[in-house]
Amino acid sequence: MKKKIYLIQPTYPNRDGQLFKCKSLYIYSLALPALSAAIPFDWEKEFCLECFEDINYDTEASVIGISSMGYDILHGHEIAEEFKKRGKTVLFGGPQIHFSQNRIRSVCDSVIYGHPGPEEMACIFGDIEAGRLSSKYHFGIKINFPFDYSVFENKRILFMPVLSSIGCRNQCEFCCTAAIYNGRYRLRHIEHVLTDLRFISRKKRNAVFVDSNIYNNREYLLQLCSHIVKEDFHLRWGAQCTIDIGEDQEVLHLLKKAGCKILFIGFESINQSNLDSFHKGYRVERYPELIKGIRKAGISVAGFFILGFDSDTASTFDALFEFIHKTRISVPILNLLLPAPGTKIYDRLRKENRLLIQNEEDFLPSSLLNKTACNRCFFIPKHLSIEEVETKFLNLGGRITSFKEIIRRSLVIDSSLSAALFFMNFNLRKDFRAMAAVQKEESLIRSPSLFIDYGLQTHRPVIELM
């Protein structure tokens, strides 16, 4: 047996059946850098980020490692099946495994749950060498080691990903992160984060923390930012966090000093009944003042919004436009509610007989729009028809991405940030125009069978490790 592993991050097929390929991306998963860093030193490694390059099915590696984040799971299944035919040992992991384990088990030798570190990987590879590989491993969250960013060498990634924590202290019923971590989170040792930042700063000027919530632990964030300021990395970066950071000026000013330019906030809804229903724990009436608090520190605010919750009506879409316009959300990211399998809202809607899909695989076949917002309604809304929800969603997307709105939102004092905001907003415009074109093309009589034509897309970027 040759001691070599081939690590693969799959892409997904477009609506025409062709695999999605690109020359550059905003951001990329940290799955392969984390896995690579954990593999025993005496094993040779080969990598494939499939959206940038083709898979080498003739690799001499004896072990194949595949990590899936969600919408690539069906193609990942095909990859695993092909390598099994070639006599390879196939390991499969990633967050989607928690929801699609039955499908994957048939095409791999072992399913890896959680985030394995060096000790855990040593265990797996020791078992491979001894011929006693288990059909599954549960490792929890092991992230306290520096990641191997050489995996990204010669790849055009505009914002280099960095991680300081896994999980989130909130337990929103629609969220896949909450479904997996149940309100828990783990922090990386600050020194490991700094090691990654040192490497990134030698290669790039822009980075983004891919934590689900960088404000999980206030004291940790203060310490991390203090170290970043001390080392003066000259990095411009953004992060996701909760809106309550808007009243913490001490943290916000230190974030700004450490190079933070923009915070992506999960507002989700501007209807208090919706927030209460999924236990978000924040007050809508405080949103404007908290946004001002973030801007006061010199940090721009991007926002995630979800439409289709039970308290949403026809007026919700106009109200959200007015909110985004008045508060000047720098980058408004819209999605229709996605009741992903494994989440509490999926279970609730299923009990209420309001789901239009039978199981998780109905979400997974991908489409042209898989890399954009979730724009399809997979459930029966309470106060609107399915067609109304989808049409009003696209109309809202068109309104917020008019050139007038884009320019108004993108103009800030920092010229480089202003250019970045315009670039992000312009890409949102292209996404919504593409979605509208597809909707027009597919103006067919709706039936549940049509829903399998659209792919799973979580409403935020997530870190996925094997």
Q: Are 136 and 176 found together in one domain?
A: no
Rg value, the chain, Cα: 22
**Where in 43-158 does DSSP place strands (E)?**
44-49, 63-67, 89-93, 110-115, 136-141, 156-157
DSSP string for residues in 122-134: HHHHHHHHHT---
Query: Does 181 lie in the same domain as 104?
Result: no
**130 within some domain:** yes
What pLDDT score was predicted for residue 178?
Answer: 72
Q: Is the pLDDT of residue 63 over 60?
A: yes
What confidence category does residue 459 fall into, taking pLDDT thresholds of 50, 70 and 90?
very low
Taking only the tens place, the pLDDT of each residue in 382-428 is: 999 999 999 999 999 999 999 999 999 999 888 889 999 999 999 89
* pLDDT confidence of residue 25: 85
> How many distinct structural domains can be found in the chain?
2
For strands 44-49 and 63-67, give the pairing: unpaired
Helix (H, G, I), strand (E, B) or coil at 66: strand
**Residue-level pLDDT at 73:** 79
Q: Are residues 131 and 268 in the same domain?
A: no
Tokens of 330: 């720098």
Q: Is residue 47 part of a domain?
A: yes
* Within-domain flag for 388: yes
- Please tell me the distance from the alpha carbon of residue 30 to that of residue 244, in angstroms, as a whole number: 27
pLDDT at 453 over 60: no
Whole-number Cα distances in Å, 290 to 104, 209, 244, 297, 357: 44, 21, 7, 11, 38
> 133 and 181 share a domain?
no
Q: In 168-273, where do the E strands start and end?
A: 185-187, 206-209, 236-241, 260-268
Amino acid at 446: R
For the chain, give the mean pLDDT: 87
Closest among 441, 329, 299 to 396, alpha carbons compared: 329
| Rounded Cα gap, residues 313 and 331, in angstroms | 24
Name every residue whose Cβ is closer than 8 Å to that of residue 267 and which is 6 or more positions away in sequence.
Answer: 243, 287, 303, 304, 305
Instruction: For residues 137 and 178, state if they share a domain.
Output: no
306 and 383 within one domain: yes
- Write down the pLDDT at residue 434: 83
Distance separating alpha carbons of residues 91 and 64, to the nearest angstrom: 6
Residue 233 counted as domain residue: no
Q: What DSSP element (H or E) covers 32?
A: helix 31-38
Asked if the model's pLDDT at residue 254 lies above 90, the reply is yes
Range of the domain at 273: 165-188+209-214+239-247+260-453
- One DSSP character per residue, 372-412 reads S------B--SSS-HHHHHHHHHHHHHHHTSHHHHHHHH--
Higher pLDDT among residues 176 and 397, named by residue: 397
In this predicted structure, the answer to whether residue 85 has a pLDDT above a threshold of 60 is yes
Distance in angstroms (rounded) separating the CA atoms of residues 266 and 135: 37
Calculate what percentage of the chain has a pLDDT beyond 70. Answer: 89
In a domain, 151, yes or no: no
Q: Which residue has the tokens 């095909």?
A: 78
Do 281 and 362 sit in the same domain of this protein?
A: yes
Q: Look up residue 40 and give its two tokens.
A: 């025993």
DSSP state of 426: H
- Long-range pairs of 220-224 with CB within 8 A, sequence gap ≥ 24: 220/164, 220/165, 220/187, 220/190, 221/251, 221/255, 222/250, 222/251, 222/254, 223/190, 224/164, 224/190, 224/193, 224/258
Q: Averaged over 186-205, what is the pLDDT?
A: 95
Q: Give backbone dihedrals phi and psi of 187, rounded to 5 degrees, phi first.
A: -100, 140
Percent helix, strand and coil across the chain, each to the nearest 5: 40, 20, 40
Dihedral, 200, 202, 204, 207 alpha carbons, nearest 10: 30
- Please report, as a single letter, which amino acid is at residue 229: V
- Same domain membership, residue 175 and residue 94: no
Predicted local distance difference test score (pLDDT) of residue 458: 35
Convert the pLDDT of each residue in 16-26 to its tens digit. Answer: 678 888 888 88
Domain CATH for 47: 3.40.50
pLDDT category of residue 346 using cuts at 50, 70 and 90: confident
| Residue 61 placed within a domain | yes
Residue 93 lies in a domain: yes
Q: What angle do CA 114, 117, 120 make, to 5 degrees?
A: 80
pLDDT tens profile 327-341: 999 999 999 998 877
Look at residue 367 in the predicted model and tell me its pLDDT. 42
Q: Tens of pLDDT along 279-334?
A: 788 999 999 999 999 999 999 999 999 999 999 999 999 999 999 999 999 999 99
Please tell me whether residues 132 and 265 are part of one structural domain. no
Report the pLDDT value the prediction gives residue 225, as an integer from 0 to 100: 97
Q: Above 80 in pLDDT, residue 212?
A: yes
**Residue of 7, 2, 61, 4 whose CA lies nearest to 31:** 7
Same-domain pairing of 271 and 400: yes
Q: Assess whether 388 and 285 both reside in one domain.
A: yes
Range list of H helices, 90-217: 97-105, 118-130, 176-181, 190-203
Using alpha carbons only, what angle is made at residue 240 by residues 164 and 287, rounded to the nearest 5 degrees?
A: 140
Instruction: For residue 175, tell me if it sits in a domain.
Output: yes
**Do residue 43 and residue 172 come from a single domain?**
no
pLDDT given for residue 21 in this prediction: 87
